[in-house]
Amino acid sequence: MSNTDFEIKKPKVDLNYSSHLKPVHSDPNPEAKPLPKVTIDGKTYEFKPGDTIMQVAERYKIHEEIPRYCYHPGMPIAGTCRMCTVEVEKAPKLMTSCSTPAGDGMVVHTRSEKVMKSRTGVMEFLLTNHPLDCPVCDKAGECELQDYNFEYGPAKSNFKEEKRVYDNATTKKLSPLVTLNMNRCVHCERCVRFTDDITKTNDLVMVNRGWHKELEATTPEGLKNDYQGCLTDFCPVGALTWNDFRFQKRSWFLAKKPSICDKCSKGCNIEVHSDADVVYRYVPIHNEMVNGHWMCDTGRNSYQEYMNPLRVISHMMRQEDKMHSVSIEAVLASVNAQLKGTSSVQIVIGTDSTREEAALLKDKVPALIGKNVSVSYFNGTGVNTPADDKKLDNLLKMKDQTANSRGVEEQGLTPLTNGELTADVAVLFRNGRTGIPKMKADQKLVLWGVWSQSEIQSLPSKNILGVIAGLATIEKEGSYKNADGIVQKFHPAIIHRGGALSAHHVVGLWKSLT
Amino acid sequence: MFDLAMMMAKILVILGCTLGVVPFLVWFERRGAAWMQGRVGPNRVGPFGLLQSLADVLKFMFKETFVPAKANKFFYLMAPIIALIAPMCALSVIPFGSKVIVNGQEVFLQIAQMDTGVIFILAFAGLEVYPIILAGWSSRNKYSVLGALRGSSQIVSYEISMGLALLSMLIVFGSFNPYDMVAWQKETLFGFLPRWGAFVNPFGALVFWIATFAETNRLPFDLPEGESELVAGYHVEYGGMKFAAFFMAEYVAMIMASSLLVTLFFGGFNMFPGMGMLVDLVVNQFQFGAVGLQNTTAFFEFASFFTKVAFFMFVMIWIRWTLPRFRFDQLMDLGWKVLFPLSLINLVVVTIGVYYFNS
Amino acid sequence: MGTINISKKYTAKQKSYIPAILVGMKITMKRFIQGFFFRKHDTIMYPEVRRKYSDRFRGMHFISVDPAKTENCTACFLCETICPAQCIHIVADERDEDENPYGVKKEKKPVSFDIDALRCCFCGFCEEACPKDAIKLSGNYELAVSSREEAFYDLDHLKRPMNGRNEK
């Protein structure tokens, strides 16, 4: 009887911090110096001089064979957790793969008996003090401690003593956004290195030593940086949890679809976590060209505007001095008639609309209205044109709070003069991110796209001809050109359950009316 | 005047006995069924659940009088009335005792003493098919129509065998008058066996007995109702007191059929062998005269009649909870291929026998 | 070829039905006498007399509580996850400090805990999955309700006083 009759397959750990490192190949020119080679688990890989063993593994996407807690491809190497140790032939001891530089001709075993025993030992030590509160822990289901314990951990612990419990540390608010549960911490110090080296705010520090080692904020106010959500992403256990997501949903219920954050012109790649088409959080996806591994807190919480119960998700029209929810055909017929009866029409495209929508509104809609139509774009978030855009910090945040300023300008449009509506009737198309242009108190308006009731009520003009509900970024298809000129295409991450329609759908219906 | 008063008294006694015994019969049917099936049965209302039937009647009375929208209202309402009246009329010619002497005058214990009594009974037994057809047809329901069709064909089929069996007994008795028939059965056969019709003409008795089951639509011949395939057959659309009338009619018909069976084949009101000694004992004990003797005899005659009828009704209930329902083709096979030839042969044999004995 | 002849030859005795009928009548009479004279019944007088069910019988759900009447449930969603009928609906939130007079702080609590008993298949998976022994299935089999709404067990109903699993 063989041992492979039943084998628990290694869980597919979606660590979401894949490396940007790519495989390298020696120059085929025979005179060039060949790249060094390292043998990992019987296969030989070429690498760039200076790589550590872990980085070589990442180059060839075999890094999931090596568990790690403290190592993170986006952060400096620390080598504190001892989880990533591998056996290197001719080395007397196990080597930490994250910090040991690979050498030419080195032979590495990542799953030898000695290595597995070491990992089991490390897991047992980590679990001595880790509380058994997975049922209430929000990290459960995506927890690296759980995953690695399932794979490498001991079946039972030799630890008979009482577990360490930090005083008053069960739930400690590090900031309004992040909660710390120190009992769960495995002291990998990723969070400390993140604030030291990535945000450079030095918010967090480990105080005391050994048994009493405890994470604390350096200032009484707690965390101050704008990337606190990333702490909760890469925390391998449930020590740091995101308050907004805390206790909302268990991670295994979440459907995960990629999309783009449209809260600023950076265009961070995100994963939309939803259940039953209700979004519970955004999580960044690694993209070295755009956002690396990170994402700002403003963008992380920007889904709330799309999940806002006040968002208008049905088409509305003014009937008997009140706004009423009516069918799209009724709104279009009314709007179409009134647009044709006026002297001048102005279409204002928000810079948060996709490139496709901008093209559609610029090319197709004026033809439908027929006469004297001017088309311009409007930003309204502190910048007028993409040229005004600038970095707010040394990481990701941008001044432009809309996603597609460059993409809209690229369509040959001009910004709205003085940010003020001039024509008889103005058609405002936006995606919920741009500001509101200045207007006269009796300006006739057609609102199109993502609007909320509060925004509509705060408009200077009450003369609204109709509201056409549009899809939000996470619900539609399209592409954005970000501040760096990178065009990114995205697909719907959730299905819109209200009455909102895509711009193409609305224009098609409008065309069938005329 | 005296005759009229006596007639009214007899009618009241018969009506009272018949209708008064129905709730008890229903209770007994339900509890008997429960006992035979290892259940407890209705035992909550009154002692031993005896008042259950009364509670049901109360419930029936307070139910909505419902007539289906497209029903023929006249026939729809007529059907349960006919169903109830026909078997009760037939009961009027059944003698349930010889005679009593009241106020110096003889009173026969029979509502109507007719020479054509058996024809009268046959006529009213034949009427029993009408409520089924009327109910089934007038309530405009496919199930009830199917039930009515089954019921009519079944009753017509079995009436022939029943009539032939009856005919054989008429030849034996040489009379149409039920009173004469009972008198004929008073003698003994071979010195020890009462000369009951069933001993003289056993096959006729069997055929007649089976046919009465079919006539009263009791299991295993309850195809007109056929709950499993026809919901409730011809009375699907009946509720409340109208349904109760059908329900009571079934039991009245049972009483009628049992009485007829007893009158024709089991000695009628004739006392059981040895009961005469009991009469003598009572008369001697209380020093009765001739009048007292006659009245005591009549009482014991009524008691034995009642006992016999009760026994056959118990057998009917017993059979009901023993046998499953026939399939329709089996029913027709039994009626036409078994009972009909059997009764015909029996008629011939009995005729020859009577001719032989009389000559 | 493909047909099987199942017709059977009956003897005259079998064809006459009479012996079979008599056997049947004997049986029913036996049962009648047993019921009438000896009160021997297979059924019971239900509301007064109740059958003893197995200790492992799974009936109406309940959530166990600690001495302070705080539910043991920590809203871990494991029962909702395992439930094959998807009849459990939980909304979780943080538990207030003053709700924890006993033992270790319970960090999370169910704000609402609804079981749709009409969908429930009483498989007992929730009971097995529960890490806190909070949700349990009692021995109560009297689940009839007079309206559909009553079959949605909310937290208050589930927290009703129970001393043990087999209590009604």
What HEC string does B29-92 produce?
HHHHHHHHCCCCCCCCCCHHHCCHHHHHHHHHHCCCCCCCCCCCHHHHHHHHHHHHHHHHHHHH
Per-residue pLDDT of chain A (514 residues; tens, 9 = 90+): 333 343 333 334 455 566 778 888 877 887 878 889 999 988 999 998 888 999 998 888 888 888 888 888 888 888 888 899 999 998 899 999 989 999 888 999 988 889 999 999 999 999 998 988 888 888 988 888 988 888 888 888 888 888 888 876 678 888 899 999 888 999 888 999 999 999 888 889 999 888 888 998 998 888 888 899 999 988 999 999 999 898 888 989 998 888 899 888 888 888 899 998 999 999 988 888 888 889 999 999 999 989 999 999 999 998 888 888 999 999 999 988 888 888 888 999 999 999 999 999 888 888 888 777 889 999 888 888 888 888 888 888 888 888 888 888 888 888 888 888 888 889 999 988 888 888 888 888 899 999 999 988 888 888 888 999 999 999 998 888 888 888 888 888 899 988 899 999 999 999 888 7
**How many CA atoms lie less than 13 Å away from A152 in the CB half-sphere?**
30
Q: Is the ipTM of this complex over 0.85?
A: no
What is the reported pLDDT for C114?
A: 92
Our CA angle for C57, C61, C66, nearest 5°, is: 115
Give the pLDDT confidence score for residue A467 in this predicted structure.
Answer: 92
Min distance C150 CA to chain A CA atoms (Å): 26
Give pLDDT tens digits for C124-147.
999 999 988 889 888 888 888 999
Closest CA to A427 of A498, A488, A357: A357
Q: A88 pairs with which residues across the strands?
A: A108
Which residues in chain C have Cβ-Cβ distances shorter than 8 Å to A170?
105, 107
Chains A and B contact (Cβ–Cβ under 8 Å for 3 or more pairs): no
**Is the Cβ pair A250, C77 closer than 8 Å?**
yes
Distance (Å, whole) CA A360 – CA A350? 13
Our CA dihedral for A194, A200, A201, A203, rounded to 10 degrees, sits at: 30
Beta carbons of B92 and B164 less than 8 angstroms apart? no
pLDDT of residue C103: 55
CB A447, CB A466: distance < 8 Å: yes
- pLDDT recorded at residue A168: 67
Diameter of chain A measured on Cα atoms: 88
Taking the CA of residue B145 and the nearest CA in chain C, the distance in Å comes to 31
Strands annotated E in B177-239 = 188-189, 193-194
> What is the pLDDT, as a whole number, of residue A342?
85
The C-alpha angle B222, B225, B228, rounded to 5 degrees, equals 100
Burial class (CB in 10 A: 0-12, 13-18, 19+), A234: buried
Average pLDDT over residues B205-234: 82
Q: C25–B321: do the CB atoms touch at under 8 Å? A: no
Cα A252 to Cα A230, A407, C112, distances in angstroms: 20, 36, 20
Least confident of A301-315, B170-184, B284-298, C72-86: B284-298
In terms of DSSP bridges, do strands A345-350 and A373-378 run parallel, antiparallel, or are they unpaired?
Answer: parallel
- pLDDT at res. A11: 38
Where do the domains of chain C lie? 9-42, 61-158
Would you state the structure tokens that stand for residue A378, as one six-digit string? 């409007």
DSSP secondary structure letters along B128-167: THHHHHHHHHHTT-HHHHHHHHHHHHHHHHHHHHHHHHHH
- What was the pLDDT predicted at A240? 92
pLDDT over threshold 80, residue B228: no
d(CA A122, CA A79): 13
Which CATH number fits the domain A316-513, given the four candidates 3.50.50.60, 3.40.190.10, 3.40.50.740, 3.30.2130.10? 3.40.50.740
Spatial separation of the C-alpha atoms in residues A409 and A403, rounded to whole Å = 12
From first CA to last CA, the distance across chain A in angstroms is 77
CA B43 to chain centre: 28
pLDDT of A509? 92
pLDDT of res. C73: 87
C-chain residue closest to A165, CA distance: C104
Q: How many domains does chain B have?
A: 1
Strands of A92-203 (E only): list them: 95-96, 106-109, 172-173, 178-180
**Closest-CA residue of chain A to C104:** A170
Residues in chain C with pLDDT values less than 70:
1, 99-105, 164-168
User: What range does the domain containing B195 cover?
Assistant: 2-358
pLDDT of residue A2: 39
CATH class of this structure's domain C61-158: alpha beta
Predicted pLDDT at C167: 62
pTM assigned to the model: 0.72
Interface test with C, best of B221, B322, B325, B334 (most C CBs within 10 A): B322
d(CA A220, CA A200) in angstroms, rounded, equals 18
Burial class of residue A206, CB neighbours in 10 A (0-12, 13-18, 19+): middle
Residue C27 near chain B (CB below 8 Å): yes
Which residues of B, range 275-334, sit inside 8 Å of C by Cβ? 318-319, 321-323
pLDDT for B241 = 85
B324 Cβ neighbours under 8 A, 6+ residues apart = B219, B220
**8-state DSSP, C119:** T
Two tokens at A439? 């207007």
User: C92–A171: do the CB atoms touch at under 8 Å?
Assistant: no
Q: C 51-90 residues with CB below 8 A of A?
A: 74-78, 81
How many beta-carbon contacts under 8 Å exist across B and C?
Answer: 41
pLDDT of C102 reads: 59
CB contact under 8 A, C31 and B34: no
- Counting as contact any 3 or more CB pairs under 8 A, the partners of A are C
